[in-house]
Chain A
Amino acid sequence: MTGLRYVYAVCRPFDAALQTQLTGVAGDPPRLLPHGDLVAVVSHVPEADFSEEALRAHLEDLDWLTATARAHQQVVDALTAVTTPLPLRLATVFRDDSGVRVMLEEREAAFRRTLDRLDGRVEWGVKVYVETEKTEQAGASRPAAPAPPAPKPVSGRDYLRQRRRQSRANEDLWSRAEEFATGLHTTLSGRADDARLHAPQNPRLSGAAGRNVLNAAYLVRRDASEEFVEMVDRTKDDVPGMRVELTGPWAAYSFAGENAGEGS
């Protein structure tokens, strides 16, 4: 009864029950708040943690951010199993049920448009990495002209020649990477209803090996997903030095905005 309302997603009414053991962001199971032709999926959260000021502080706390993001995702994921949810941005909070109802009413037309556009579709994430480490290591382990102990023009020339060879190999690698990523993106976009590019991930954050050169999301019909996944799978050995990773299916987070797909 008390507390604020955390809204995960907006959906069309659906019959299926949500998993019973589902817990929301603050341990409160999500419930359905129907209004008109739409349903908001909400849970009750304590004001102490979700007021604007508290949120601001919490969002800079990695453990809190991680737990909240995962809980949010679990609820949206459970919804994805039974309907096509329109996910909201993390930490969308209202004072009470009537605040949520007002919001549903005010944005009804836009929600319906977006829900129609997303209906029966999921998002797939595709990332391409260039496995730079190998190249660099190969370069480094090569017995580079022994550290010049004295001015030795010969080894200097060898060194320059080697540098040139290396930088040409690198240029070659990057142009192949660009070509590969662009080609893959074009192919996959052709099989998707919409596509969106995310910023490449920082390897220090992702912990993934190699340099991320493509971080894309594709909106794909559920019944076309198997084919889409197979197509991604077929690219994996196409070009040496490139690694392709697939994530999903996700709810259509990257396509939830009215202008998703335009730009970027």
Chain B
Amino acid sequence: MTVVERREIALVDLLDRLLAGGVVITGDVTLRIADVDLVRIDLNALISSVNRNVPSPFGD
């Protein structure tokens, strides 16, 4: 399987999984991520840092 070679993972793909996926456990310190107002993340900062083009795995 050649596709397994790793590229830098795009932050948006990562956040799709880490902030919306995974088992949600209410631990003794754990806060529920859903409660955090992620909208307040500075959108401009997010855009400028994420704005690297993600190459298609098919090299089009």
Contacts and interface: CB of A to CB of B under 8 A. Distances in A.
| Chain A contact surface mostly | mixed
B58 A99 contact: no
25 contacts: A7-B25, A50-B29, A60-B36, A61-B41, A73-B9, A86-B23, A87-B21, A89-B18, A91-B33, A92-B25, A99-B27, A201-B12, A206-B50, A208-B10, A229-B1, A236-B58, A243-B60, A245-B54, A247-B10, A247-B13, A253-B18, A253-B21, A256-B23, A257-B24, A260-B21
Nearest to B12: A206
Interface string B1-31: 1011000011111111111111111011111
Interface of B: 1, 3-4, 9-25, 27-31, 33, 36-38, 40-43, 45-47, 49-54, 56-58, 60
A10 B58 CA distance: 34
B50 to A, nearest CB: 6
Interface of A: 4, 7, 10, 50-52, 55-56, 59-63, 65-66, 69-70, 72-73, 86-95, 99, 103, 107, 114, 123, 125, 198-199, 201-202, 204-209, 215, 217, 225-226, 229, 233, 236, 243-250, 253-257, 260
